[in-house]
Amino acid sequence: MKQYSDFSKIIHREGYIFIVSFAVITFLLASFSHTLGWIGFVLTIYCSYFFRNPDRFTPIEEGLIISAADGVVHRITEAIPPQELGFPEDEMIRVSVFLNIFNVHVNRIPATGKILALHYNPGKFLNASLDKASIYNERQSVLMETYGQKIAFVQIAGLIARRIVCDLEEGTEVKAGARYGIIRFGSRLDIYLPLKTAILVTEGQTCIGGETIIADFKLQKTSEPRFEKR
């Protein structure tokens, strides 16, 4: 998995080219019109804001599944996981988090474990809030083993998103809350969990990637979760 520099922990490296480009365009526009210059300045600031990459404090108690993205829990349902990952055609719990253009778009690993398989699937760019986006849209699927269970998490492109970045490698040991990729300009992230998993979020709830506890593989918590900066 690629390491992030100190500066990349402020602004994700995928944003560098956009921020520089907007800054150059703003300079050119300002030479012709103060109004156009201000418009370019606002767009440059927004671009920097979109690619922000803040630190998070991740619960590190064993058995917890953490949100892999900022956004709103759009839907919790039972669905067949991505077949390209080799899952049997049995339903799992799918928790879908929808990201709007104002959310942090850096994605984080939902649990400590081992990456077993990766699969990129080119596809359409339907509205990411639609159920069929899980099947037809461009996506990057990840299979991992954690706490003796196999789970999957999937980056899904949306109407505006045109690039999915995933820095993971098969066979890598990873930690919950670590940065692993980004989806540019609006998207969705699905997590597939075993049917008996205790889900701790509800539809409509706002999640913070790397911090919000999505589920707990233990039936009962024995203590309050501890936190570690990621």
Active-site residue among 21, 141, 187, 223? Answer: 187
> What average pLDDT does range 49-73 have in this prediction?
91
| Count of Cβ atoms closer than 10 Å to residue 97 Cβ | 28
Q: Which residue has the higher pLDDT, 51 or 98?
A: 98
pTM above 0.85, yes or no: no
Predicted pLDDT of residue 218:
84
**Active-site residue flag, 187:** yes
CA 144 to chain centre: 15
Predicted pLDDT of residue 220:
47
Torsion on CA atoms 41, 179, 176, 224, rounded to nearest 10:
-20
> What average pLDDT does range 196-215 have in this prediction?
94
For the stretch 125-155, pLDDT in tens is 555 555 655 666 788 999 999 999 999 999 9
Distance CA 80, CA 128 (A): 18
Q: Average the pLDDT over each of 76-80, 87-91, 212-216 and give the range with the smallest value.
A: 87-91
Cβ proximity of 71 and 161 under 8 Å: no
Label the pairing between strands 198-199 and 227-229: unpaired
CA 16 to chain centre: 19
Residue where the block lists tokens 């196999």 = 150
| Count of Cβ atoms closer than 10 Å to residue 67 Cβ | 28
* Element at 174 (helix H, strand E): strand 173-174
Distance CA 96, CA 73 (A): 6
